[in-house]
Amino acid sequence: ATPAATMVGTTIGARNGVLFKGGDILERAKDVDTVVFDKTGTLTEGEMELTDVVVFDPDGEPIPDGGTPAPDGGELTARKRPSTDEVLRLASSAERGSEHPLARAIVEAAEERGLDVPDPEAFENVPGQGVRATVEGSEILVGNRTLLGNEGIDPSPAAETMERLESEGKTAMLVGRVPAGTSGGELLGVVADADTVKESAKRAVTALRERELEVMMLTGDNERTARAVAERVGIDPENVRSEVLPEDKSEAVERIQSGGRQAMMVGDGVNDAPALAVAYVGTAIGSGTDVAIEAADVTLMRDDPLDVVKAIRISDATLRKIR
Ligand code: ADP
Ligand code: MG
């Protein structure tokens, strides 16, 4: 392309909120044959809300939010089960130190219910799995099956509840506790957060597919939730890569590209920076973190997945014109 054409394309991009980091990027974007979207914050709003709290009775039967907690003095007290509010209070305390959108929704819900949430005595973030904290002397875990499994807490009594919530597209998290001075942990309950799919996500996917681009989704979230979201936006189930740990996201993109594909990776989070860097074109979207923007080749100023289509179209149009 002539420098003039590149200049025109870059300017048109900038006017439309699509920032190409250089003329070479503008040229490359038209050759993308696969678009890989991060799920949370990219296809979805990334603004989670707590939707469910479930505790389990001594027989492992779920007691949903609003159900009856174990009565004081009753037979159940011997194997005391916490109320849904108590599970939420403990989970919220453990999540206080986490910046994760999943965590923020839990903390906000506890505040809204007026629960008295203590600061944890210790806190540790386990990337891609959840959090581990010390609350009132006990270790509290909030996270996925791997996190609790690694602590020796069997997540199976929650299996059905988890599956139900996940097929609704929610992210279900297990809450477990290892009481002070013991090594055996117990499963307390399940909390679930829901995210909203961005209004234009489906239109963006449809437009990309109309241009005969392969559209994929990459997420740390579990398979069932990921597929429920993919279905809503029109991404084929076989194009969903789920349960990808943050440090494995770039490898997942490399694998997608290993057959000669030229992928545009679209993401917003700190987690996504390495994946953006290895992609043929890395695109940071909207309110993305500085790290993501720095690693990206293209920055979309707005939070709109349709601007991905715009970026490819601008590249295509400007460079075709001068051929
Ligand atoms: P995503 O790629 O969707 O942003 P992450 O890689 O950050 O997801 O996390 C993957 C999974 O790990 C989540 O779906 C959740 O089950 C669990 N997880 C991560 N962080 C937290 C947290 N702060 N609290 C509870 N669970 C978490
Ligand atoms: Mg994300």
Location of each CATH 3.40.50.1000 domain in the chain: 3-45+196-321
- Average pLDDT, integer, range 291-300: 90
Q: In what helix (H) or strand (E) does residue 69 lie, and over which residues does it extend? A: none
Confidence tier at 125 by pLDDT (50, 70, 90): very high
CATH homologous superfamily, domain 3-45+196-321:
HAD superfamily/HAD-like (3.40.50.1000)
With a cut of 50, say whether residue 75 has pLDDT above it: no
* 20 vs 2, higher pLDDT: 20
The catalytically annotated residue of 24, 38, 72, 272 is 38
Mean pLDDT of the chain: 90
Ion ligand 2 — residues with CB < 5 Å: 38, 40-41, 269
For the chain, how big is the Rg over CA atoms in Å? 22
- Average pLDDT, integer, range 15-42: 95
With a cut of 60, say whether residue 17 has pLDDT above it: yes
With a cut of 80, say whether residue 10 has pLDDT above it: yes
Note the pTM of the prediction, 2 decimals. 0.80
Closest-lying ligand 1 atom to the alpha carbon of residue 101: 23
User: So what's the pLDDT on residue 66?
Assistant: 58
How far, in Å, CA of 91 to CA of 132, rounded? 10
How far, in Å, CA of 132 to CA of 282, rounded? 33
With a cut of 80, say whether residue 277 has pLDDT above it: yes
Confidence tier at 167 by pLDDT (50, 70, 90): very high
User: So what's the pLDDT on residue 269?
Assistant: 79
Confidence tier at 72 by pLDDT (50, 70, 90): very low
Q: How many helices (H) and strands (E) does the chain have?
A: 12, 14
Stretch among 25-29, 58-62, 132-136, 244-248 having the lowest mean pLDDT: 58-62
Location of each CATH 3.40.1110.10 domain in the chain: 49-194
User: So what's the pLDDT on residue 298?
Assistant: 96
In this structure, which amino acid lies at residue 192?
A
User: So what's the pLDDT on residue 287?
Assistant: 67
User: So what's the pLDDT on residue 321?
Assistant: 55
Nearest to 279 by CA among 265, 260, 261, 300: 265
Stretch among 160-169, 209-218, 279-288 having the lowest mean pLDDT: 279-288
Contact 153, 176 (CB under 8 A): yes
CATH code, residues 49-194:
3.40.1110.10
Contact 230, 170 (CB under 8 A): no
- Average pLDDT, integer, range 154-162: 93
Task: Confirm or reject: Cβ of 155 under 6 Å from ligand 1.
Answer: no
Ligand 1 centroid to residue 131 C-alpha, Å = 9
Cα of first residue to Cα of last residue in the chain, in angstroms, is 8
The bridge status of strand 171-178 relative to strand 34-38 is unpaired
- Average pLDDT, integer, range 222-234: 95
With a cut of 70, say whether residue 78 has pLDDT above it: no
Instruction: Select from 53, 99, 100, 195 the residue to mutate for testing ligand 1; criterion: most ligand atoms less than 8 Å from CB.
Output: 100
Instruction: Select from 129, 195, 242, 247 the residue to mutate for testing ligand 1; criterion: most ligand atoms less than 8 Å from CB.
Output: 129
The number of residues in the chain equals 323
* Three-state DSSP state, 263: strand
Ligand 1 centroid to residue 181 C-alpha, Å = 28
